[in-house]
C-alpha cells in the first residue's frame, strides 16, 4: 500500500494554471450499485503505466453516515486516494472522493466543498461537479456515468460535451441499476458506451500520458479512410464533414466502430458502403446537439444589457428586430433569446416586430424545437418567474412553450456551410459551433456572418470561441461574454497580410451598399467620419497641387468639406434638404466620370484622373479635368475612415461639342462643302463625342453587370425567404392538425367532465340531505386542525359560519359547558389514530355524545379528523325516569321479598305472574313451579267456581273485602288462608292483574260452612 499524503491546499483564489499543467481530469458519477462499478473500473487500469490524469469520484451518499468509500477504493488501485477536504489541489495520478453531505466544484484545478442545502431528494451532486469540471478543463474534461438510479449526471455530460470534452457511460446491461446510464445515453451525446473494466484502456488510448490525443490518434487524422467516410456521408446526406475538427470526427467514428465491434477503419468503410442505415446513424452521431436554456447565465445577462437594450433603443420608431440562431439544435437557445426580446418589448411597450430564425441541419432536433415541449429538468435552468410566465405544464410531465413566444420563431432545416444565409439581421447567436469546425471553415463563416448582419449588428459566440482572423470585420463589445459588433468601415487589406476569407458567393459588404452607385445616405453623419479639422486637411491637400476648387468626400460620396467656388461644377440637388452628396450635386456631364473615378480610387487606393470632361454650366460647355486622390493616413493625421479629395480644374482646351447641340450661326449650310480644316475639326469633335459615349456605355455595362450580380444575390435572398415561408407554412399546417386533434380531445374531455359534474352535483345533494336528515352535527378538520367543513347542526354548537372554513378550530368559542379540551383531544386522536367518545353539555341544557375520530380517505390515508355531535338529551331523560322507576321497584321488591305473608300476582285469566318466598314456604311450590300454575290448579275443586268468579269481579275493578278461603299445597294438603285481593291498574286506568296477600288462618278458628 502506498503512503497517502495530503496533496496540499490553497488559501487564496487559485491562480491560472499553465497550459502544460492542464492535465485531463476524469469525473466519475455513480449512485446505487456504484461500488461494484468502481471496483471494476480501477481493476481495469493498466498496472504498469501511470494514466497521467486525475480521477474524482462523486457518489450519492447518506448525509448522516461516515463514508467508507475511500478505504474501499484504496484496495483496488495503486494510485493515491483521498477524501476531499476544502481547497484540495488536484494532482495527476490521484483519486479524489467526495465526502458525505456536500456538493463539490472545481476551480483553477482546486476542489471546493459546499454544504448541501437542497432537500435530499433534490440533490444532484454529479451534475454540479460535472458542470464545474467542464468550465475549468474544457476539452480536457472527461465525464463518466456509472450504475445508479435517477437522471443525475445527464445535464453534466451535456455541459462537458459543450466544452469539447469526452463522455463515457456504463453499458446498461452491466449495471445493477440502469437509470442514470440510460438517461445519459438518451441524449445522444455519449462518445463511448463501455463496461467499467473497458473504460481505463479507452482513456489511456485517447489521453495517454495526460496530453491530447496520443500519437496513434494524431496519425489517424491523415488516414485516407476518413476521406472515404466523408465521401459516403456527403453522397447520402448531402453534408460535408471534411472540414470539422479531426478529434470530433475520430471520437464519433470510434464510437460507431465500437458499437459494431469493427477493428479497422477500412472494415468500417466497407460496412458503410453496404449499410445506408449506418451512414444515417453516423450522420446523426456527428451532430452534437448540446444546448440548454440560458446556458452561461452571465453571458445572457451581458447580451440582455449590452445588445438587446441598445437594439430596442435604436428601433424606437418601430420596425423589425431580426435574429438568426444557426445550429439551434432542439431550440432551447433560440427560445431563450425570444424570451429576452419579449420581456424587453413588454417592458418598453415597443411596437417592434420580433423575428427569430432558428436553423439546424438535424431534422430530428428541428422537430423537437417546433413542438416546443421540454422535460421537467429545464426547471433547473430557468428562473421560476420565467418558467411560470412563458411555459405551461404538460399533463404527462414536462413543459410547453407558450404560444405567444412560439409565434416569434421560425424553425427550418439549413446547412450553415453551403446554404444561403439570412440577411439584414440585427443579431446572430452562433454559440459553441465554431469549436467543432476546422480553421478554414471558421475563416469562411465569420465573413458570412458579417455579410448577413445589418450595419451595427451584433454577433454572439460561445465562451470558448472568437472571430479569429476576422477581427477586422467585428469590433469587440464584451470579450468575456463573446459579444461582437459589425464594423462598417473596413481597412484595406495590403498584399501579404492575412485577413478574413471572403465568401465566394455573397459580397463582404451589405447588398444595398455595393449594388448601387455611391450616393447620399441621409441617416449617416458625415462629420463623424474623420477626427481632424476638415478645413485644414482639405486645404493642405489642395495646396500640394496648387488648385483652387475641390471637395473632400468619403467612400460613399458624401461631401465633408468644400473649397473654392464650386458652383460652376456642382449645384444643390432637388429633393429633401440636407443631402450633400457630390454625385447628386454634380452638373450635367460631370457625374458619369466622377462616379467611375470614385469607384476606381476606392478599389485601387491610387489617384485617378479623368481629363476632357464636358460640363454644362448655365447652358455653356466647359472643359474640366477631374482628379480623385485618396487621402493618406499618418501618425500626425490619423483617419477613422477612407477619405478622398475631388479636384476640379477648368482647362483651356475647347470642350468637345455635343452632336445634339445646334451648329453656330456662321456655320456653313448643310449643302456647302467643308474645307479641310473644317472637316478635320468636325471629325475630331465627332471622335471626342464617340469616345465620351463609349465611356458612358462602358460604365453603363459595368453598372448593368453589377446590377445582375445584385439581382442574383436578391434572388438568393428571395429563395431563402421562400424557404422560410415554406417552413412557416409547414408549421401552420402542423399547428392546424394539432389544433384539430386538440379540439377533438377537448370535446371528449368536456363531455366526460360534464357527466362527472352532474354525478358530483347529485352526490353533493344526496350528502347534504343525508347530513341534514340525520341531525348529527359534524365538523371536519385537517391535520393542522383547520376547519374544512361542517354540517348545519354543528354550527349552533361550535359557533361556525360558512366564511370560517380554513380557520383553526381553536379560534372559536363553543357552547359546551365545562369542556375546553377539544383542540388537545383532537391532537391526541391524530397522534394515536384512535377514536374517542366524550359526553358533553351545552349552555341551553342539551346533552350530546361527542365522538372524535381520524378522517381517512378511500386510500386509507389520514388527512385530518372528524368531530360528531349526537343529541342524547331525550335518551338521558328516559334513562333518568327508568332509573327512578327501577329504584321504586327495587324498594317494592324488597318489601315483597321480605314480607312474611304470601304475595302472589295473577293475570285476569288466573295465571301466576309473581310468587314471593313466603308463598313458597306457605304452599311448598317454588317460584318456578308456581309460575306454571293457575288459580284453578291451587284451589280445591269445590271452590274453583267461586274463586274464578271473584277474580272476574276484581278484573272489573270491583273492590272486595278480605275473605277466607282454602288453597291446595304442593303436598296435596288443603290449607285455610285469609286473603286480601286488589286489582292492579295501569296509567290508562285498565286492570291488568290482581295482587293477593294470603296468610294462614289460625288453627282454632272454624271455617264457616260454604266459605270460599
Burial class (CB within 10 angstroms; exposed 0-12, middle 13-18, buried 19+) of 312: middle
Q: Which residue has the cell 347529485?
A: 762
**CA-CA distance, 66 to 100, in Å (whole number)?**
7
In the structure grid, which three cell numbers stand for residue 763, read together? 352526490
Catalytic residue selected from 127, 136, 147, 152: 152
Burial class (CB within 10 angstroms; exposed 0-12, middle 13-18, buried 19+) of 497: exposed
What are the two backbone dihedrals, phi and then psi, of residue 620, each rounded to the nearest 5 degrees? -115, 135
* Active site annotation includes 152: yes
> How many other β-carbons are positioned within 10 Å of the β-carbon of residue 991?
15
Catalytic residue selected from 31, 329, 720, 814: 31
| CA 572, chain centre distance (Å) | 60
HSE-up of residue 596 (Cα within 13 Å, Cβ side): 19
Q: Are 936 and 946 in contact (CB under 8 A)?
A: no
Q: Are 240 and 85 in contact (CB under 8 A)?
A: no
In the structure grid, which three cell numbers stand for residue 965, read together? 278461603
**CA-CA distance, 286 to 247, in Å (whole number)?**
12
Q: Which residue has the cell 318489601?
A: 895
Please report, for the chain, how many H helices and E strands are present, in that order.
29, 36
Q: What is the DSSP string of 255-292?
A: HHHHHTT--SHHHHHHHHHH-HHHHHHHHHHHS-----
Q: How many residues does the chain have?
A: 1012
**CA-CA distance, 769 to 772, in Å (whole number)?**
5
Closest CA to 204 of 19, 82, 24, 35: 24
Residues 6+ apart with CB under 8 A from 50: 92, 93
* Active site annotation includes 285: no
Residues 6+ apart with CB under 8 A from 510: 451, 454, 455
In the structure grid, which three cell numbers stand for residue 752, read together? 366526460
- Enter the DSSP assignment of 565: -
β-bridge pairing 991-1000 and 963-968: unpaired
What Å distances lie between residue 775 and 565, 792, 793, 868, CA to CA? 112, 8, 6, 10
Sign of torsion, CA 411 184 118 120?
A: positive
* Active site annotation includes 60: yes
Q: Are 975 and 921 in contact (CB under 8 A)?
A: no
Catalytic residue selected from 60, 112, 450, 556: 60
**What three-state secondary structure class fits 721?**
helix
Three-state SS string over 756-796 comes to HHHHHHHHHHHHHHHHHHHCCEEEEEECCCEEEEECHHHHH
What Å distances lie between residue 434 and 185, 430, 463, 697, CA to CA? 25, 8, 11, 46
Residues 6+ apart with CB under 8 A from 318: 350, 351, 352
| Helix 224-237 / helix 246-259 crossing angle, nearest 10 deg | 80
**CA-CA distance, 297 to 299, in Å (whole number)?**
5
Q: Are 369 and 358 in contact (CB under 8 A)?
A: yes
In the structure grid, which three cell numbers stand for residue 85, read together? 477536504
Per DSSP (E only), the strands in 48-98 are 54-59, 80-83, 88-89, 94-97
- Enter the DSSP assignment of 893: H
The per-residue b/e assignment along 598-633, b for 16 or more CB within 10 angstroms, e otherwise, is bbebbeeeeebebebbbbebeeebbbbbbbbbbbeb
Per DSSP (E only), the strands in 479-538 are 483-486
Catalytically active residues are 31, 60, 152
Amino acid at each position: 500500500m502506498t503512503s497517502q499524503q495530503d496533496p496540499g491546499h490553497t488559501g487564496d483564489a487559485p491562480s491560472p494554471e499553465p497550459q502544460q499543467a492542464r492535465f485531463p481530469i476524469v469525473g466519475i458519477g455513480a449512485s446505487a450499485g456504484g461500488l461494484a462499478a468502481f471496483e471494476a473500473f480501477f481493476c481495469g487500469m493498466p498496472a504498469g503505466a501511470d494514466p497521467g490524469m486525475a480521477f474524482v469520484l462523486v457518489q450519492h451518499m447518506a448525509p448522516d453516515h461516515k463514508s467508507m468509500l475511500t478505504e474501499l477504493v484504496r484496495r483496488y488501485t495503486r494510485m493515491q486516494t483521498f477524501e476531499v477536504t476544502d481547497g484540495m489541489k488536484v494532482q495527476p495520478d490521484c483519486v479524489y472522493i467526495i465526502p458525505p453531505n456536500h456538493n463539490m466544484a472545481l476551480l483553477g484545478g482546486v476542489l471546493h466543498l459546499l454544504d448541501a442545502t437542497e432537500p435530499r431528494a433534490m440533490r444532484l451532486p454529479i451534475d454540479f461537479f460535472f458542470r464545474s469540471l467542464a468550465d475549468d478543463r474544457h476539452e480536457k474534461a472527461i465525464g463518466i456515468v456509472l450504475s445508479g438510479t435517477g437522471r443525475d449526471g445527464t445535464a453534466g455530460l451535456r455541459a462537458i460535451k459543450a466544452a469539447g470534452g469526452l463522455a463515457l457511460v456504463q453499458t446498461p446491461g452491466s449495471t445493477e441499476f440502469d437509470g442514470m446510464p440510460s438517461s445519459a445515453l438518451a441524449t445522444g451525446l455519449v462518445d463511448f458506451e463501455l463496461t467499467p473494466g473497458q473504460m481505463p484502456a479507452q482513456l489511456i488510448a485517447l489521453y495517454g500520458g495526460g496530453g491530447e490525443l496520443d500519437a496513434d490518434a494524431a496519425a489517424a487524422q491523415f488516414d485516407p479512410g476518413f476521406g472515404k467516410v466523408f465521401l459516403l456521408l456527403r453522397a447520402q446526406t448531402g453534408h460535408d464533414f471534411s472540414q470539422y475538427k479531426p478529434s470530433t470526427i475520430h471520437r464519433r467514428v470510434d464510437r460507431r466502430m465500437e458499437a459494431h465491434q469493427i477493428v479497422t477503419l477500412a472494415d468500417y468503410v466497407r460496412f458503410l458502403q453496404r449499410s445506408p442505415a449506418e451512414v444515417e446513424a453516423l450522420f446523426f452521431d456527428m451532430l452534437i446537439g448540446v444546448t440548454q436554456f440560458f446556458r452561461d447565465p452571465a453571458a445572457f445577462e451581458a447580451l440582455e444589457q449590452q445588445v438587446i437594450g441598445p437594439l430596442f433603443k435604436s428601433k424606437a420608431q418601430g420596425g423589425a428586430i431580426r435574429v438568426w440562431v444557426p445550429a439551434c439544435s432542439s431550440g432551447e437557445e433560440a427560445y431563450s433569446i425570444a424570451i429576452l426580446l419579449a420581456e424587453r418589448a413588454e417592458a418598453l411597450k415597443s411596437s417592434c416586430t420580433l423575428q427569430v430564425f432558428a436553423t439546424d441541419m438535424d431534422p430530428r432536433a428541428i422537430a423537437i424545437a417546433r413542438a416546443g415541449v421540454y422535460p421537467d429538468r429545464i426547471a433547473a435552468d430557468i428562473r421560476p418567474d420565467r418558467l411560470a410566465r412563458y411555459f405551461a405544464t404538460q399533463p404527462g410531465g414536462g413543459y410547453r412553450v407558450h404560444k405567444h413566444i412560439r409565434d416569434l420563431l421560425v424553425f427550418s432545416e439549413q446547412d450553415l456551410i453551403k446554404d444561403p444565409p439570412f440577411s439584414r439581421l440585427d443579431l446572430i447567436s452562433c454559440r459553441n459551433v465554431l469549436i467543432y469546425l476546422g480553421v478554414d471553415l471558421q475563416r469562411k463563416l465569420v465573413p458570412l456572418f458579417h455579410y448577413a448582419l445589418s450595419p451595427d449588428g451584433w454577433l454572439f459566440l460561445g465562451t470558448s470561441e472568437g472571430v479569429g482572423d476576422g477581427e477586422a470585420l467585428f469590433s469587440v463589445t464584451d470579450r468575456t461574454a463573446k459579444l461582437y459588433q459589425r464594423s462598417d468601415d473596413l481597412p484595406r487589406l495590403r498584399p501579404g497580410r492575412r485577413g478574413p476569407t471572403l465568401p465566394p458567393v455573397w459580397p463582404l459588404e451589405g447588398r444595398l451598399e455595393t449594388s448601387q452607385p455611391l450616393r447620399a445616405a441621409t441617416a449617416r453623419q458625415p462629420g463623424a467620419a474623420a477626427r481632424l479639422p476638415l478645413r485644414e486637411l482639405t486645404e493642405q491637400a489642395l495646396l500640394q497641387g496648387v488648385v483652387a476648387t475641390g471637395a473632400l468626400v468619403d467612400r460613399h460620396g458624401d461631401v465633408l468639406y468644400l473649397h473654392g467656388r464650386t458652383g460652376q461644377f456642382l449645384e444643390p440637388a432637388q429633393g429633401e434638404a440636407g443631402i450633400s452628396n457630390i454625385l447628386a450635386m454634380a452638373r450635367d456631364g460631370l457625374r458619369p466620370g466622377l462616379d467611375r473615378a470614385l469607384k476606381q480610387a476606392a478599389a485601387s487606393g491610387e489617384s485617378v484622373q479623368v481629363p476632357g470632361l464636358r460640363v454644362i454650366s448655365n447652358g455653356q460647355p466647359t472643359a474640366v479635368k477631374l482628379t480623385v486622390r485618396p487621402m493618406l493616413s499618418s501618425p500626425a493625421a490619423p483617419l477613422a475612415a477612407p477619405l478622398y479629395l475631388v479636384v476640379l480644374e477648368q482647362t483651356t482646351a475647347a470642350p468637345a461639342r455635343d452632336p445634339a447641340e445646334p451648329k453656330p450661326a456662321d456655320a456653313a449650310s448643310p449643302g456647302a462643302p467643308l474645307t479641310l480644316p473644317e472637316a478635320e475639326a468636325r471629325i475630331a469633335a465627332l471622335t471626342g463625342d464617340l469616345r465620351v459615349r463609349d465611356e458612358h456605355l462602358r460604365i453603363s455595362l459595368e453598372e448593368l453587370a453589377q446590377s445582375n450580380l445584385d439581382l442574383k444575390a436578391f434572388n438568393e435572398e428571395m429563395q431563402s425567404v421562400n424557404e422560410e415561408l415554406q417552413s412557416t407554412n409547414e408549421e401552420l399546417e402542423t399547428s392546424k392538425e394539432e389544433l384539430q386533434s386538440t379540439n377533438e380531445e377537448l370535446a371528449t374531455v368536456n363531455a366526460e367532465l360534464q357527466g362527472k359534474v352532474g354525478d358530483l352535483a347529485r352526490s353533493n345533494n344526496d350528502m347534504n340531505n343525508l347530513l341534514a336528515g340525520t341531525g348529527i352535527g359534524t365538523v371536519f378538520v385537517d391535520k393542522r386542525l383547520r376547519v374544512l367543513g361542517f354540517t348545519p347542526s354543528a354550527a349552533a354548537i361550535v359557533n361556525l359560519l360558512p366564511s370560517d372554513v380554513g380557520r383553526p378550530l381553536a379560534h372559536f368559542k363553543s357552547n359546551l359547558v365545562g369542556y375546553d379540551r377539544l383542540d388537545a383531544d383532537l391532537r391526541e386522536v391524530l397522534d394515536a389514530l384512535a377514536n374517542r367518545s366524550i359526553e358533553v353539555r351545552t349552555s341551553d341544557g342539551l346533552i350530546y355524545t361527542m365522538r372524535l375520530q381520524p378522517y381517512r380517505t378511500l386510500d386509507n390515508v389520514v388527512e385530518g379528523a372528524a368531530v360528531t355531535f349526537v343529541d342524547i338529551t331525550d335518551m338521558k331523560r328516559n334513562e333518568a325516569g327508568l332509573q327512578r322507576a327501577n329504584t321504586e321497584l327495587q324498594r317494592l321488591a324488597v318489601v315483597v321479598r321480605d314480607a312474611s305473608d304470601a304475595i302472589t300476582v295473577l293475570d285476569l285469566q288466573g295465571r301466576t305472574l309473581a310468587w314471593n318466598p313466603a308463598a313458597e314456604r306457605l304452599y311448598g311450590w317454588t317460584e318456578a313451579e308456581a309460575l306454571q300454575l293457575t288459580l284453578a290448579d291451587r284451589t280445591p275443586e269445590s271452590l274453583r267456581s267461586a274463586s274464578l268468579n271473584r277474580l272476574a269481579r276484581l278484573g272489573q275493578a270491583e273492590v272486595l273485602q278480605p275473605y277466607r278461603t282454602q288453597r291446595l299445597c304442593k303436598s296435596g294438603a288443603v290449607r285455610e288462608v285469609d286473603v286480601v285481593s286488589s286489582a292492579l291498574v295501569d296509567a290508562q286506568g285498565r286492570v291488568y292483574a290482581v295482587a293477593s296477600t294470603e296468610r294462614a288462618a289460625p288453627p282454632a278458628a272454624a271455617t264457616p260452612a260454604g266459605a270460599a
